[in-house]
Amino acid sequence: MAFSPLTSGCSNYCNVGIGWKSSSWFVQFGFFSNGVSAKPTKNNGSRAFRVCASSSSSSDPLLVKAARRERVSRPPAWMMRQAGRYMAVYRKLAEKHPSFRERSETTDLIVEISLQPWEAFHPDGVIIFSDILTPLPAFGVQFDIEDVRGPVIQSPIRSEEGLKSLHSIDLEKLQFVGDSLRILRKEVGDLAAILGFVGAPWTIATYIVEGGTTRTYTKIKDMCHTAPHVLRALLSHLSKAIAEYIVYQVESGAHCIQIFDSWGGQLPPHMWDCWSKPYIDEIVSTIKRKCPQTPLVLYINGNGGLLERMKTTGVDVIGLDWTVDMADGRKRLGTDIGIQGNVDPATLFCPLPALTDEIRRVVKSAGTRGHILNLGHGVLVGTPEDAVAHFFDVAKSFDFDKVEDHVSEADKVVA
């Protein structure tokens, strides 16, 4: 494996080498509801719908238009973790199917869970119920999810020997993801955007190296200095596999993809430049070449120190966590890129008038173009469902046409 140095000013160790109720009836689909041809094509033996080359259309979902910074009548809204334990219907289903991996790797269950918030709240984005670790076994990394410890990697990779277990991603092993996205696209049509997602290479690598979740990231940060060649090789492999996985999700019906670099914020900015950004850059470059009409969203938890750097990856939308002031975020990023967020998830536990005020503040600060309303993190366990319903009701109450018409008339008076 060859490595080429980056000209980013990183020190030597940072040089990187980039080198629904039946899962069978999707086969009968001959087209999507928006008229996009859905001719199946072979992709590692799995059926995939070629939608990457589709162009912008007036029938595109509101969220897609906002991600492209097109004019919209109101801010589209969805929530990270909008399908999950805060919903009574989900908890009832989880009692019957206690294994998270069963719920997230069985087509019928994925579709049912993904549609639960759609049926309850009608958000503008329906995200597939899955996990950022879901594709790991498809390229040689086995994992379990334990009740107390959470995800556990069976054989952490910290050496050249460990790298030998890796192989190219086998998309046949992820057919349940493709099947689910096709069914969701058919069920929802263009009433909302179907959202796929992946973990960024650095974030995925933290699990693979640490052996599971961690609060300190000491093992992987140590590897940056003591085994940089191993870490570079791992990250390079992950970037290629993740890029293929994104293309597969888009071909299967995802309108938009969110990249979660959840633990990128655990790196100092100069280290993020070396150990995360180059691999996100590679993924974005691949998707922009193969699926140029597919908006990409990048979210990092704790990203206040990284906003300007995130913009240079070439994604279409930057997700802000709740610790960043929306007005400051918009000022720092400019108006030539989309922005997502960033209501504090805890605000959904407050009185509804307070929630309304916070949503209005965020929307006003973000502006009328290129904003996707969301939380600054995932929905918290115990969040009242009526607060979630109120969040979407408030989002749908905005009318940007009136705002822009008012601004236009004011400009005429000034002129």
Please give the pLDDT value at position 146.
87
Question: Whole-model pTM?
Answer: 0.87
**pLDDT reading at 18 higher than 80:** no
Please give the pLDDT value at position 58.
74
| Range 326-331, long-range pairs (CB < 8 A, 24+ positions) | 326/361, 326/362, 326/365, 326/366, 327/365, 330/365, 330/366, 330/367
Q: How confident is the model at residue 45 (pLDDT cuts 50, 70, 90)?
A: very low
Please give the pLDDT value at position 56.
61
Q: What is the mean pLDDT of residues 289-318?
A: 97
Q: Torsion over CA of 136, 133, 150 and 128, rounded to 10 degrees? A: -140
Q: Which helix (H) or strand (E) holds 54?
A: none
Other C-beta atoms lying within 10 Å of the C-beta of residue 42: 8
The pLDDT tens digits for 70-119 are 999 999 999 999 999 999 999 999 999 999 999 999 999 999 999 999 99
Q: How confident is the model at residue 407 (pLDDT cuts 50, 70, 90)?
A: very low
**pLDDT reading at 373 higher than 70:** yes
Contact 7, 274 (CB under 8 A): no
C-alpha to C-alpha distances, 94 to 12, 84, 98, nearest whole angstrom: 49, 9, 5
**pLDDT reading at 399 higher than 50:** yes
C-alpha–C-alpha distance, residues 201 and 198, integer Å: 9
C-alpha–C-alpha distance, residues 118 and 113, integer Å: 9
Mean per-residue pLDDT over the chain, rounded: 88
C-alpha–C-alpha distance, residues 139 and 244, integer Å: 11
C-alpha–C-alpha distance, residues 10 and 274, integer Å: 6
Q: Which residues contact 98 (CB under 8 A, 6 or more apart)?
A: none
| Residue 259, phi then psi, degrees to nearest 5 | -100, 120
**pLDDT reading at 29 higher than 50:** no
The pLDDT tens digits for 194-253 are 999 999 999 999 999 999 999 999 999 999 999 999 999 999 999 999 999 999 999 999
Q: Which residues contact 228 (CB under 8 A, 6 or more apart)?
A: 13, 14
The token pair at 34 is: 């928006």
Please give the pLDDT value at position 236.
98
